[in-house]
Chain A
């Protein structure tokens, strides 16, 4: 098992290098760079820059150097924890991303927690009580949850929030805590604001996971090994949890890693609508303005998170499913 984990961690390194190159290249693919965009914007505003000024600007941002040198410089600094300068904000990327990244991660964590805490028990219940009234209700609600776009949910909740509760549903903090230092009160304030976006972002995932959990549990309940367990004289509830549910959890656990990017990108739209200080809106703006280091660093960080997520679920999967742990599969 330890060998397996080590092997997987080592495999991460080439993947990360590849991702860094690809993301850096892709951002530079659109014609021009930050300076050309900047100059064009100024020109649109009726202001002209001289040739020397433009060259000086390019030198200032390091854009006059060939792409691979820019890359090597950026990635060497990145590995040491310095993500460079944001052209647009004219501030270090580190400072810009730091808090937002943390908030994004906290929100993703709670969303994941919400999704699994809701979906797994409901999925199991629906499967065990197939065709019961509750099963129909959950299936119907889940269907609606899956079909409603997140941003629409966000708008509906905002409307309800304002109309019914007389409060703004937007943001992650009350006004008085907005620029305050971190404190217990601020954390509590954040949690009070966070449940709403968590529910909104998590709804689709919950609905999807209920379906997967229900289907796999149903599938496993009919397997011969469950009959064997029953033929031993195990109690029904006990045998359901110990055998089919245990096996049905495997694919759910294995997709935690894929859930993460799904949630992070799912947050972007909701964050825009709800005006959340997470990474989503920032990344969007960085891409629009070709803010090279900011965009590349954010993509790099989000991809790393995804890879780590995948790694974690693979390790979990190997831990719960011996067939994978030993790198072999049975014939049936």
Chain B
């Protein structure tokens, strides 16, 4: 398995006056080279913070306090080395070379993500100049070429346009052109189509799929829309309250979800707006991130809750037969015991 990025036990907390919000709390997952990982979960579960942690872009009061982000970097001589991004200074030269050059990111609000006062051509060229040894005019040529690749008509004229002159879909195309201008090995897309209408969303998704295959890059595709994940992803990671509760091949997960939270999410397909209602009216809301819940974080809402077990023991990730990782006590020996053992499940780390 050709692993590109491996996140282990990532912990990013926000230190607020109200307390510590564990936005990302011991998250473990991995992304393979050239594959699309869909990350799904409800609003506030920590998807964006996970993405920003990988980019080392978490801003105070947020801090990544623990974990490893192992990124496999290709060398010049065809070999590769593994670096732990968390060991690099966040604003240092090396991390800045990776950020935008090897790992790029696009965001939820395409127009707001572009500067209102700079020409889009200059914004794309800036990224190229930061990471490639080219001249200003060469960078502009590459930028025009990128705009063509994302199917922006009249690419040359568009170089001088400003964000407010373009539609939301066009802005996201520009963002994609900018992100891909240095051929990153990983693109992090944080809900890139949430703000767009359905038709535009379909076009952007199609574009991303095409470019992904063409450039052979990996994508971490964050969304709360399982339908989009089914379309796009090779692998799926389901996130709940700062933790990945289930990760596996997309086909396996859609065919046979293991974690009760995944099952609940899938039952709400295809009507996503009903999902929220179902979960909220029947099972309450996501606990606030300051709470220190005992046992499994999902237990107040879980349909398969085992009294005396789930509210006592913190489930650890375990690997099932089809290479699936699940954080649920149902798949451990605790589910078959009358009284919980004192020792905690160690599981796969």
Q: Which residues of A contact B (CB under 8 A)?
A: 223-225, 227-236, 243, 246-247, 250, 320-323, 326, 328-332
List the count of A-B residue pairs having beta carbons below 8 Å apart. 85
In chain B between 165 and 221, which residues have their CB closer than 8 angstroms to a CB of chain A? 165, 175, 178
Asked whether any CB of chain A lies closer than 8 Å to the CB of B8, the reply is no
A330 touches B175 (CB 8 A): no
**Residues in B lying within 8 Å of A, measured CB to CB:** 55, 57, 91, 95-101, 104-105, 107-109, 111-118, 123, 126-127, 130-131, 162-165, 175, 178
Are B117 and A247 in touch, CB under 8 angstroms?
yes
Q: Is the CB of A230 within 8 A of B57?
A: yes
Taken together as a complex, chains A and B put the C-alpha atoms of A231 and B117 apart, in Å, by 18
A320 in contact with B117 (CB, 8 Å): yes
User: What 7 pairs between A and B have smallest CB-CB spacing?
Assistant: A330-B164, A233-B100, A232-B100, A233-B96, A233-B99, A224-B112, A224-B113
The reply to whether A224 and B164 contact each other, CB–CB distance below 8 Å, is no
Write 12 A-B pairs (CB below 8 A) sorted by A numbering.
Answer: A227-B57, A228-B107, A230-B99, A231-B104, A231-B105, A233-B96, A233-B99, A235-B91, A243-B115, A247-B116, A328-B164, A330-B164
Asked if B162 contacts A233 (CB within 8 A), the reply is no
Inter-subunit contact B117/A233 (CB<8 Å): no
A233 and B112 contact, Cβ closer than 8 Å, known pairs A247-B117, A320-B117, A328-B164: no
A323–B162 touching, CB < 8 Å: yes
What residues on B are CB-neighbors of A233 within 8 Å?
95-101, 127, 130-131
Contacts of A234 in B (CB 8 A): 96, 100, 126, 130
Which residues of A sit under 8 angstroms from B109, Cβ to Cβ? 224, 332
Question: Could you tell me the distance in whole angstroms from the C-beta of A216 to the nearest C-beta in chain B?
Answer: 13
- Once A225-B116, A227-B107, A233-B99 are accepted as A-B contacts, the answer to whether A330 and B163 lie under 8 Å apart by CB is yes
Give complex CA distance A223, B162 in Å: 17
The docked-state distance in angstroms from the alpha carbon of A322 to that of B130 is 25
| Given known contacts A230-B57, A232-B130, A330 and B99 CB-to-CB distance under 8 angstroms | no
Chain A residues in 8 Å Cβ range of B98: 233
The complex places the Cα of A233 from the Cα of B163 at a distance, in Å, of: 21
B175, chain A: closest CB distance, angstroms: 7
Question: Do residues A322 and B117 form an inter-chain contact, with CB atoms below 8 A?
Answer: yes
Q: Does the CB pair A232–B114 fall under 8 Å?
A: no
Q: How far is the CA of A234 from the CA of B127 in the complex (A)?
A: 8
Out of B96, B113, B117, name the residue touching A228 (CB < 8 Å). Answer: B113
Interchain CB contact under 8 A, A229 and B115: yes
Query: Do residues A231 and B100 form an inter-chain contact, with CB atoms below 8 A?
Result: yes
What residue in chain B is nearest A331 (Cβ atoms)? B111
Knowing A328-B164, A332-B109 touch, does A231 contact B57 (C-beta < 8 A)? yes
Q: Give the CA-CA distance A321 to B117 in the complex, in Å.
A: 6
Whether B163 lies near A235 (C-beta < 8 A) is no
Q: Give B119 Cβ to nearest chain A Cβ, in Å.
A: 8
Asked whether B101 lies within 8 Å of A329 as measured between CB atoms, the reply is no
A19: min CB distance to chain B, Å: 33
User: In angstroms, how far is the closest chain A Cβ from the Cβ of B150?
Assistant: 16
Instruction: Give chain A residues whose Cβ lies under 8 Å from the Cβ of B112.
Output: 223-225, 332
Is A236 within 8 A of B111, CB to CB?
no
Query: Which of A225, A231, A323 is within 8 Å of B55, CB to CB?
Result: A231
How far apart are B95's CB and chain A's nearest CB, in angstroms?
A: 8
Cβ contacts under 8 Å, B178 to chain A = 228, 232
In the complex, what's the smallest C-beta–C-beta distance from B66 to chain A, in angstroms?
23
Residues of the A chain whose Cβ atoms lie less than 8 Å from the Cβ of B107? 224, 227-228
Beta-carbon nearest neighbor of A221 in chain B:
B59
Given A231-B100, A323-B164 in contact, is the A246-B117 Cβ separation under 8 Å?
A: yes
* Known A231-B100, A233-B99; further 16 A-B contacts with Cβ < 8 A: A223-B112, A224-B112, A224-B113, A228-B115, A230-B57, A232-B126, A233-B95, A233-B100, A233-B130, A234-B126, A234-B130, A235-B96, A243-B118, A330-B116, A332-B109, A332-B112
